[in-house]
Amino acid sequence: MEVRVGHRKTRDDFVLYCPIELAKGIKKGIEKGKYQMTNLGLEKQCSHCKEFWPADSEFFYPQKGKGLHCYCKACYRYKRYLEKKHSQDAA
């Protein structure tokens, strides 16, 4: 599997998408403990489960103009599931 910064999935091959974050934002995130560099590369901490995951679109949804979402995909999906369940229970 190939990883290209700033590219999305193409028809020919599967490519992970890693939005380009500003170097200043990554540096600030590392200082705050939200990012870390490991032997696997740059990792981001999920704001919900507090686990570190690779900072790419396999684990986080991209946000237009902001980089990656603060929740990992699993926590984001779970949050949406609870919201949907709660709205159905209220109806």
Residues 6 or more apart whose Cβ sits within 8 Å of residue 79 = 48, 71
Least confident among 10-24, 25-39, 54-68: 10-24
Mean pLDDT of all residues in the chain? 80
| pLDDT digit string, tens, across residues 63-80 | 877 788 999 999 999 999
Is pLDDT above 60 for 61? yes
Whether the full predicted model's pTM is greater than 0.85, yes or no, is no
62 DSSP β-pair partners? 68
Give the integer Cα–Cα distance in Å for 56 and 18: 5
Q: In degrees, to the nearest 5, what angle opens at C-alpha 43 toward C-alphas 60 and 51?
A: 75
Average pLDDT over residues 80-91: 85
